[in-house]
Amino acid sequence: MRVQADREVCIGAGMCVLTLPEVFDQDEDDGRVVLRTPEPAPALAQRAREAVALCPSRALSAAP
Ligand code: SF4
Protein backbone atom coordinates (compact mmCIF):
# COMPACT_ATOMS: atom_id res chain seq x y z
CA MET A 1 0.00 0.00 0.00
CA ARG A 2 1.07 3.53 -0.73
CA VAL A 3 -0.42 6.56 1.05
CA GLN A 4 -0.31 10.14 -0.19
CA ALA A 5 -1.17 13.34 1.64
CA ASP A 6 -1.83 16.71 0.04
CA ARG A 7 -0.71 19.33 2.53
CA GLU A 8 -2.25 22.10 0.42
CA VAL A 9 -5.70 20.58 0.98
CA CYS A 10 -5.24 19.49 4.61
CA ILE A 11 -7.08 21.62 7.15
CA GLY A 12 -5.28 20.17 10.17
CA ALA A 13 -8.30 18.40 11.63
CA GLY A 14 -6.08 15.62 12.96
CA MET A 15 -8.44 12.72 12.33
CA CYS A 16 -5.68 10.84 10.52
CA VAL A 17 -3.31 11.19 13.47
CA LEU A 18 -5.95 9.95 15.90
CA THR A 19 -6.72 7.00 13.64
CA LEU A 20 -3.20 5.92 12.75
CA PRO A 21 -0.36 7.73 14.53
CA GLU A 22 2.11 5.18 13.19
CA VAL A 23 1.64 6.67 9.74
CA PHE A 24 0.37 10.24 10.23
CA ASP A 25 1.65 13.15 12.26
CA GLN A 26 0.88 16.84 12.40
CA ASP A 27 3.30 19.67 11.70
CA GLU A 28 4.10 21.49 14.94
CA ASP A 29 3.86 24.87 13.24
CA ASP A 30 0.82 24.77 10.97
CA GLY A 31 -0.95 21.61 12.20
CA ARG A 32 -1.08 20.10 8.73
CA VAL A 33 -0.48 16.45 8.10
CA VAL A 34 3.01 15.00 7.95
CA LEU A 35 3.41 11.55 6.45
CA ARG A 36 5.65 9.47 8.67
CA THR A 37 5.76 6.53 6.32
CA PRO A 38 4.27 6.54 2.81
CA GLU A 39 4.28 2.74 2.62
CA PRO A 40 2.61 1.36 5.77
CA ALA A 41 3.11 -2.27 6.69
CA PRO A 42 0.30 -4.61 5.57
CA ALA A 43 -0.93 -4.90 9.15
CA LEU A 44 -1.74 -1.16 9.12
CA ALA A 45 -3.49 -1.13 5.75
CA GLN A 46 -7.06 -1.37 7.04
CA ARG A 47 -6.62 1.51 9.49
CA ALA A 48 -4.85 3.51 6.79
CA ARG A 49 -7.92 3.11 4.57
CA GLU A 50 -10.10 4.22 7.49
CA ALA A 51 -7.96 7.32 7.95
CA VAL A 52 -8.29 8.15 4.25
CA ALA A 53 -12.08 7.79 4.49
CA LEU A 54 -12.31 9.91 7.66
CA CYS A 55 -10.31 12.89 6.41
CA PRO A 56 -12.82 15.76 6.17
CA SER A 57 -10.87 17.61 3.47
CA ARG A 58 -10.09 14.58 1.29
CA ALA A 59 -6.41 15.35 1.56
CA LEU A 60 -5.47 11.68 1.80
CA SER A 61 -5.40 8.91 -0.75
CA ALA A 62 -4.25 5.30 -0.75
CA ALA A 63 -3.39 2.89 -3.51
CA PRO A 64 -3.11 -0.89 -3.05
S1 SF4 B 1 -7.52 14.13 8.68
FE2 SF4 B 1 -7.17 15.17 6.71
S3 SF4 B 1 -7.44 17.33 7.18
FE4 SF4 B 1 -7.13 16.27 9.13
S5 SF4 B 1 -4.91 16.42 9.52
FE6 SF4 B 1 -5.31 14.49 8.47
S7 SF4 B 1 -4.99 14.97 6.29
FE8 SF4 B 1 -5.26 16.88 7.35
pLDDT digits (tens, 9 = 90+) for 3-62: 999 999 999 999 999 999 999 999 999 999 999 999 999 999 999 999 999 999 999 999
Structural domain span for residue 11: 2-63
What's the CA gap between 47 and 31, in Å, rounded?
21
Task: Return the ligand 1 atom nearest residue 58 CA.
Answer: 2
- The response to whether residue 11 sits with its C-beta less than 6 Å from ligand 1 reads yes
What's the CA gap between 27 and 46, in Å, rounded?
24
How many angstroms is it from 16 CA to the middle of ligand 1? 6
Q: CATH number of the domain that 35 lies in?
A: 3.30.70.20
Task: Return the ligand 1 atom nearest residue 12 CA.
Answer: 5
pLDDT of residue 46: 97
- Counting the structural domains of the chain, the total is 1
Burial class of residue 43, CB neighbours in 10 A (0-12, 13-18, 19+): exposed
